[in-house]
Amino acid sequence: MNDSLLAYLNGEYVPKDQACVPITDRGLLFGDSVYEVIPAYGGRPFRVPHHLRRLDRSLAAIRMQNPLSQDEWQKIFERLTQQLPGKDQSIYLQVTRGSYPVRNHVIPDDIQPNVIAFTSVNPARDPDKARRGIKVITLEDIRWHRCDIKATTLLANVLARAQATEEGADEAILIRDAAAMEGTASNLFVVSNGLVITPPDSPELLPGITRDLVLELCREAGVPFAQATIGMPDLEHADEIWLTSSTREVAAVVELNGRPVGNGTPGEMWHRMDALFQACKERLRLGGDCHVD
């Protein structure tokens, strides 16, 4: 663990392991805060405008304004990632409602947000591991009805992941009203007869930045795709299942509830999408960008 890194805290850069917010912070007391996780490949942050747009959306949904401009955020990301030049890393940022002396559910008028950001090294991608795929289970989705907000109130996700781990799985796909929504920290895709399908945007799932890119890559490569409800039978009979996120990239699911998906190895379409995704990362590493449209 490299604890000598500096973190951003309300305008200052302080050693990560010494950066503190008060115990009266509403993020701590109420989960009253939102966050982003931004991958940086070769030290270059990935799809920053997309992440900042989603941050704006999350803040607006919880009745907050973005305390910093795009430029200010960019400068923070630069300063943080420069500490690990050329390295793959994850930038974490969080904006909390702020600290207030009185604990009360009512949102105070005179409160200033606490803003934190830090970076951590990501281990280099292991292509063999990616080709082994991951195992998932399905669980009931017991989360609230605003999963489109990237809020730090993640206890239901954490408990579902704990159950998945206990059952020897890497992730859980959450089922609400007989429809598969997403993973505890990832978006869901199935491939069926050559068609790539992801559940439609709704308040019940996070509009993932990786998911958007996968849809763009499908469009660019002429791979047919659709946004449609995925029921349990669709999941069970899918040729392929993928889970996407800023940390997992595009992961192939090879086992669902103890049964093989397809022939139990990552499918042909996954290989194609993974190659497109890796090429996109490579463009970013070389100083280009990952925007395909």
Q: CA-CA distance, 173 to 33, in Å (whole number)?
A: 24
Which one of 40, 55, 190, 206 is in contact with ligand PDD (CB under 6 A)? 206
Q: Of 270, 268, 265, nearest to 250 (Cα)?
A: 270
Choose one: 64-72, 109-117, 243-251, 269-277; the region binding ligand PDD (CB under 6 A): 243-251
Quick one: 96 or 245, whose CB is closer to ligand PDD?
245
Residue in 117, 209, 250, 273 binding ligand PDD, rule: CB under 6 A: 209
Lookup: tokens for 40 = 């940086």
Judged by CB under 6 A, the residue of 136, 185, 250, 276 near ligand PDD is 185
Taking Cα atoms as reference points, which of 256, 244, 134, 144 lies closest to residue 186?
244
First-to-final CA distance of the chain: 38
**Of the residues 25, 182, 240, 274, which one makes contact with ligand PDD according to CB under 6 A:** 182
Residues with active-site annotation: 150
Question: In the structure encoding, which two tokens stand for residue 83, read together?
Answer: 């500490």
Q: Return the structure tokens found at 258.
A: 């103890």
Interface residue with ligand PDD, options 33, 89, 96, 246 (CB under 6 A): 246
Quote the least distance from Cβ 248 to ligand PDD, whole Å: 8
Residue 166 host element (H or E)? helix 155-166
State the number of binding residues for ligand PDD (CB under 6 A): 14
- Closest approach, Cβ 237 to ligand PDD, in A, equals 23
37 sits near ligand PDD (criterion: CB under 6 A): yes
CB 246 within 8 Å of CB 37: yes
**Minimum distance between the CB of residue 94 and ligand PDD, rounded to whole angstroms?**
11
244 interacts with ligand PDD by CB under 6 A:
yes
Instruction: Please choose, out of 183-191, 219-227, 257-265, 268-276, the segment that lies near ligand PDD by the rule CB under 6 A.
Output: 183-191
d(CA 94, CA 92): 7
In the region spanning residues 44 to 103, those forming contacts with ligand PDD, defined by CB under 6 A, are none
**Which single residue is written with the structure tokens 């912070």?**
25
> Structure tokens of 131?
């080709």
Q: Residue 82 burial by CB count (10 A; 0-12/13-18/19+): exposed, middle or buried?
A: exposed
HEC string for 68-127? CCHHHHHHHHHHHHCCCCCCCEEEEEEEECCECCCCCCCCCCCCCCEEEEEEEECCCCCH
Report the nearest approach of ligand PDD to the CB of residue 278 (Å): 16
Q: Does 208 bind ligand PDD (CB under 6 A)?
A: yes
Listed ranges 105-113, 182-190, 196-204, 216-224: which one lies at the site for ligand PDD (CB under 6 A): 182-190
Stretch that binds ligand PDD, among 65-73, 97-105, 241-249, 273-281 (CB under 6 A): 241-249
Residues engaged in binding ligand PDD (CB under 6 A) = 37, 182, 185-187, 206, 208-211, 244-247
